[in-house]
């Protein structure tokens, strides 16, 4: 069995944290930290993806769809107001 060196012990001490635990409730190490960062990035990417229309077969995201719906609503309102304006008899 190889003897432990103080340098190896010091290096090992920088790669673990007694303040954090991994899923096995052991002291967390650098790999656990990297996996935590990866999981956080995945959660952010999932949230960003949901801003679009998820798995819908459309090239548009939610903001584009909202913009198109607002445009359509504006056109319908404009048309309805035009009908109202033409139905009002002119003043004499």
Q: In the chain, where does DSSP find H-type helix?
A: 6-14, 30-51, 62-87
Same domain, 26 and 45: yes
Q: Residue 27: phi, psi to the nearest 5?
A: -60, 130
Q: Which domain holds residue 26?
A: 16-51
Note the pLDDT of residue 32: 82
Same domain, 46 and 30: yes
Separation of alpha carbons 37 and 43, rounded Å: 10
DSSP letters, 38-58, are: HHHHHHHHHHHHHHTTTT-S-
pLDDT tens per residue, range 19-78: 777 778 888 788 888 888 999 999 888 777 766 666 666 666 777 778 889 999 999 999
35 and 22 Cβ atoms separated by less than 8 Å: no
Same domain, 20 and 45: yes
Residue 6 lies in a domain: no
Residue 10 lies in a domain: no
């Amino acid at each position: 069995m190889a003897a432990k060196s103080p340098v190896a012990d010091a290096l090992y001490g920088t790669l673990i944290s007694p303040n954090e635990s991994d899923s096995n409730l052991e002291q967390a190490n650098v790999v656990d930290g990297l996996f935590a960062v990866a999981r956080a990035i995945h959660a952010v990417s999932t949230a960003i993806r949901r801003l679009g229309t998820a798995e819908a077969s459309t090239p548009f995201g939610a903001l584009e769809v909202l913009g198109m719906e607002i445009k359509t609503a504006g056109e319908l309102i404009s048309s309805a107001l035009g009908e109202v304006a033409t139905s009002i008899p002119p003043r004499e």
